[in-house]
Structure 1
Amino acid sequence: MHRRPESSSRFPGEYSWLVAGAVGAGESYAEAARRELREEMEVRASVRPLFTFLCRGELSPYWFAVHEATVGQEQIAPQAAEVAWHGWLSGDELRDAMASWKFVSDSRDAYNRYVRLAADRPR
């Protein structure tokens, strides 16, 4: 979980449970996910694709691909220009935060889809 800096041009001071960014020309979704993780959190990790959807967020409709990576807290060194605060939340804490904190809209949309996906997975 992290909060964007107040000085950010997009969604200042809002929270996100995702590290996100645009895909570059000729770059795959997975390459972009790895690059953004490295640029924003200084983490080098493999990523696994989860789902892709057409996000109709505040900026405009765009394709949004969600990947996941497993990292340890000691691996994270967020860039101050990208992250004002970061912390670890349990699943219940994240659910509660989603109900009361101001989140980047596409982050909230992706969270709702992630929860539905998790509910549909066989146990």
Structure 2
Amino acid sequence: MGERVERVDEQDRVLGVVDRDEAIREGWPHRVATTVCRDARGRVLVHRRPEHLSRFPGHHDWLIGGAVEVGESYEEAASREPAEELGVRARVRFVFTFLCRGAISTYWLGVHEAVVTQPLTPDPSEIAWHGWFSEAEFREVIRERLFVPDGLDALRRHPGLGSPAATRPPTPPRW
């Protein structure tokens, strides 16, 4: 049996416990928690997913996250994920949740932020590369690199970083 998650409805109310792969296969909403990591200078962490991953191999992302475990809160999961993927512990601050009609499945996405002051030790099975970007550099990198589409959806909704212009690919020149 795989990873167990809480199946939820479109108002984020728990309906029961299911296997995450089954929830994805059946299109049942479940919960995912993410953290936007910033350093002490306010720069945003961007990472690239390894090529061997089944979901979005080689794509970049600005969110560190994963499924919310059974009985776990969004905040608990958002705190756990940076420890697992980056080897750091940081206090998370809730930003927002929304029903994400994701590229692979529908799920409730909880977005949090944390200031990371410790050196990162990324798990190579989760993160192939990482870098810190000022907000201006971040807006450039999301136009230049291939990003996880669900992360771009979350970025459009982010009250501090999001804007339609920030997440649109550049307009090709007209000749």
Please confirm whether the aligned pair reaches a TM-score higher than 0.5, indicating the same fold.
yes
Q: Matched residue pairs, number?
A: 117
Distance (Å, rounded) in 2 between the aligned partners of 1:110 and 1:100? 18
Whether 1:111 and 2:155 are equivalent positions in the alignment is yes
Rg larger in 1 or in 2?
2
Deviation digits for residues 36-70 of structure 1 (CA, Å, limit 9, x no counterpart): 11000011111000000011111111100000000
More strand by share: 2
Distance (Å, rounded) in 2 between the aligned partners of 1:112 and 1:99? 13
Whether 1:7 and 2:52 are equivalent positions in the alignment is yes
Equivalent in the alignment of 1:94: 138
Whether 1:84 and 2:128 are equivalent positions in the alignment is yes
Unmatched 5+ residue regions in structure 1?
none
Unmatched 5+ residue regions in structure 2?
1-45, 162-175
Identity of aligned residues (%): 53
How big is the alpha-carbon RMSD for the aligned residues of Structure 1 and Structure 2?
1.4
| 1:9 match: secondary structure | coil
| 1:75 match: secondary structure | coil
More helix by share: 1
| Residue 32 (structure 1) shift | 0.4
Greater relative contact order (Cα < 8 A, sep 6+): 1
1:1-123 equivalences under 5 Å are 1-72=46-117, 74-114=118-158, 117-118=159-160
Deviation digits for residues 12-31 of structure 1 (CA, Å, limit 9, x no counterpart): 00000110100000000000
| 1:33 match: secondary structure | helix
